[in-house]
Amino acid sequence: MRKKKQIRTCGIWTRAVAIICSDKSAFSTLDESFRDNMKFGDNSKVSVMGKGQVLIQTPGNTIQTISNVLFVPDLKTNLLSIAQLQEKGYEISIKGSSIRVLRTNRGGEYNSHEFADFCKEHGIKRQLTVAYTLQQNGMCERKNRTILSMVRSLLTRSKVPKKFWPEAINWSFPILNKSPTLAVQNMTPEEAWSDRRPDVCHFRIFECIVYPYVPDEKRRKLDDKGEKCIFLSVSDYSKAYKMYNPNTKKIAISRDVICDEASTWKGTKGAQQQILADFDEETGEGQQPVENVQQHVQDEQVTEQSQQAVPGSEPRSPRLRRRPVWMHDYEQSMMLEFDMSDLGKMHYFLGIEVVQSTVGIFILQRKYAQEVLDRFQMKGAVSWSLKKSAIVTLSTTEVEFVTATTCACQVIWLRKILEELHFKQEGAIAIYYDNSSAIKLSKNLVLHGRSKHIDVKFQFLRDLTRDEIIDFIHCKSEDQFADIMTKPLKLSTFQKLRQFIGVYSLNKSY
Q: Does one domain contain both 255 and 172?
A: yes
pTM comes to 0.34
Q: Does one domain contain both 191 and 257?
A: yes
Q: Which of 433, 466, 462 is nearest to 447 (CA)?
A: 462
In a domain, 341, yes or no: no
Q: Does one domain contain both 281 and 250?
A: no
Reported as a single tens digit per residue, the pLDDT across 381-435 is: 667 676 777 777 777 777 788 888 888 888 888 888 888 888 888 888 888 888 8
388, 391, 395, 401: CA torsion to nearest 10: -80
User: Total structural domains in the chain?
Assistant: 4
* pLDDT for res 17: 58
Q: Does one domain contain both 253 and 162?
A: yes
Q: Does one domain contain both 417 and 481?
A: yes
- SS3 assignment for 440-452: HHHHCCCCCCCCC
DSSP state of 26: G
In a domain, 121, yes or no: no
**Given 215, 231, 264, which residue is the final one in a domain?**
264
Reported as a single tens digit per residue, the pLDDT across 49-69 is: 999 998 887 767 788 888 888
Non-local CB neighbours of 260 within 8 Å, separated by 6+ positions: 208, 209, 210, 211
Q: Does one domain contain both 245 and 310?
A: no
- Domain containing 317: what range? 274-326
Q: Does one domain contain both 149 and 248?
A: yes
Helix (H) or strand (E) segment spanning residue 306 = helix 298-306
Q: Does one domain contain both 194 and 244?
A: yes
Burial letters for 173-185: b for 16+ Cβ neighbours within 10 Å, e otherwise?
Answer: ebeebbeeeeeee
C-alpha atoms less than 13 angstroms from C-alpha of 111 in its C-beta half-sphere:
6
Listed in sequence order, the DSSP H helices in 358-453 are: 366-375, 396-420, 436-443
Q: Does one domain contain both 227 and 175?
A: yes
* pLDDT for res 212: 92
Q: Which residues of the chain have pLDDT under 70?
A: 1-17, 40-43, 59, 82-83, 86-87, 92-97, 266-323, 377-382, 384, 386, 445-459, 504-510
292, 297, 301, 302: CA torsion to nearest 10: -150
Q: Does one domain contain both 148 and 255?
A: yes
Q: Does one domain contain both 403 and 476?
A: yes
Evaluate whether 178 touches 150 at the Cβ level (below 8 Å). Answer: no
Q: What sign results for the dihedral spanned by CA atoms 341, 343, 345, 347?
A: negative
Evaluate whether 438 touches 400 at the Cβ level (below 8 Å). Answer: yes
